[in-house]
Amino acid sequence: MSRSQSAFVFPADEFYLLAGETIPDSDYYEDFAQIEDGVGMVRHFIDDFKAAVARRTRRGKPLADLRGTLVTGKLFFPVLEQCIAELNQRTGAKLAVCAAENRFLGKRVTVAGLLSGRDILAALRGRDAGDFVIIPGEALAFDNRLLLDGMTLNDLSRELGLPVYSGGRSAGEFFKRQPLGTVRK
């Protein structure tokens, strides 16, 4: 397609994920004009994540002593699991990914942004989550303070007996958050 033309319709990332299809390359999404509507969000995350991992490993910031769990919705789970597997392999980190089922709004709701605190607790029940838990930033409202069911990060932390952090809204934010933003010696 020439630069003077633009695609009329872009399928949301959900269509590709549900169909088990590969997410298109960045060029497909042109200038990511519909990213807030879930169009290109996954591609943007993957590209941003790979760039952040490359920066992190170039700077030599160690992650080998990190042991924690990232929680996400069922739809994004395979993507995040693949990204974290690459991060673990390149850095020696021991991070796990946990898919949370949405019981609050129903099993058919599979996106990370609509998870409740109770959904996250249920997903982690009986599991060794490591030293910390990271939850999707999209699931938090009011300046990263509140989940759909009224629980806060502090509530989750108290229930789990572990620090709980917001993952941010991008891979760049993810790596700036504690404990990933901490350089360990």
Q: For the whole model, what pTM was predicted?
A: 0.83
pLDDT in tens, 102-152: 999 999 999 888 999 999 999 999 999 999 999 998 899 877 789 999 999
Q: Is the pLDDT of residue 183 over 50?
A: no
- Indicate the class that CATH gives domain 61-176: alpha beta
Domain ranges of the chain: 61-176
Q: What percent of the chain has pLDDT over 90?
A: 43
Q: What pLDDT is stored for residue 4 in this prediction? A: 56
Amino acid (one-letter) located at 166: S
Q: Is the pLDDT of residue 47 over 60?
A: yes
Angstrom CA distances, 68 to 72, 133, 148, 167, stand at 13, 6, 23, 12
pLDDT in tens, 57-73: 777 666 778 899 999 99
Of 1-15, 74-88, 136-150, give the range with the top mean pLDDT: 74-88
Angstrom CA distances, 99 to 71, 74, 147, 152, 179, stand at 6, 5, 17, 19, 21
Q: Is the pLDDT of residue 34 over 90?
A: no
Mean pLDDT of the chain: 84
Q: What pLDDT is stored for residue 25 in this prediction? A: 81
Q: Is the pLDDT of residue 184 over 50?
A: no
Q: What pLDDT is stored for residue 180 in this prediction? A: 66
Q: What pLDDT is stored for residue 182 in this prediction? A: 53
Residue with more model confidence, 101 or 19: 101
Amino acid (one-letter) located at 163: P
Minimum mean pLDDT among 51-55, 61-65, 86-90: which range? 61-65
